[in-house]
Structure formats: structure tokens, C-alpha cells
Amino acid sequence: MTLLEELLLFKKNIRDLKTGKLLGELPETLLKQLCLAERPVRYVRTPIPRKAILKAERHLNTRDAVYASRKVRSDTADRKAHELAEVRDRLEQTHGNAPHQAIADAANAEGLRTSRGNLWGPAGVRRLLKRLEEVDGDEETLAARAKASLRKRDQV
């Protein structure tokens, strides 16, 4: 396949900057000159226009995306909290009461990482263990609370 044939595949997307015409609208002699040009020829690919989305539909899509993101983050945090609780329970069986720093050190030593891949610190351990107590004590998870708050906001 020649260079000209390859370029013609994009004749509806490449525009001549000088004339403003699409590649398919240029005469064949100019196209041949383009392929044989010794100096650089400036052409750009024109973007394909997107489908217009109504503001209300965009709002609903955003709301759904926010809810889905909250749910995934909530599920991940719950899973991480249970992992830390297992580490805490093992430490308490062997050493008695385990401070948050000791739990963080043990979790890091076992290769457990935060949801962002960082090392555990005492503040993060405290937050997730508190979350675990809230979730275990109250069946309503963060995802359910987030969904309820979105519904309440949409009603206003």
C-alpha cells in the first residue's frame, strides 16, 4: 500500500491547514505533491464530533457514576477493614492489647497495603477499625448512606 493510499483512508479526518479543505476534497495532483514533498507539509486530523447530551441526562449519568464510585470505594474499605481486623485479632491473641502502630507494622510486614498501595500508618488503621465497628454495629453501610443522601439531595 502506498503512502497516498494510506492517507486516503483518512480523507474525511485530515484537513489541509492552508486551504481548510479535507484531504478527500483536494485535487489528485496536490495529493501526489503531498506524498513527494521535500519540505514538511502541515496537516491535522480533525476530531469526530461527539453526540450532544442533554444537561439532565448528563446529571443523571454523573449521579450514577458518583454512586457507583462510592459503592466500590466503600466495598474496598470494608474489605481492607476486615483484613486489618484479622491482623489485630492475631496480635491480641499473642500480645494482648495491640496499639494501632503495632497493627500497622504487622500489616506492612505481611504485605498488606492501603487501597492506594501505600504502607499502613496508625491513623489509617484507627479509621478503618472504627469503620468496622460502625458497620458491624449498624447494618447500614457507607454505600447505603451515600445512596440515601443522593436521594435526599435529588428530592430537594
Q: What is the pLDDT of residues 73-126, one digit of tens each?
A: 988 988 999 999 999 999 999 888 889 999 999 999 999 999 889 999 999 999
Task: Give the rounded percent of residues in the chain with a pLDDT score beyond 70.
Answer: 80
Q: By C-alpha distance, which of 9, 26, 10 is closest to 18?
A: 26
Question: Could you report the per-residue pLDDT of 119-130, keeping only the tens digit for each?
Answer: 999 999 999 988
> Does position 140 have pLDDT exceeding 80, yes or no?
no
pTM, 2 dp? 0.52
- Alpha carbon distances (Å) from 107 to 91, 115, 146: 10, 13, 29
**Structure confidence at residue 141 as a pLDDT band (50, 70, 90):** low
CA angle 141, 82, 108 (to 5 degrees): 135
- Alpha carbon distances (Å) from 14 to 20, 26, 46: 10, 11, 6
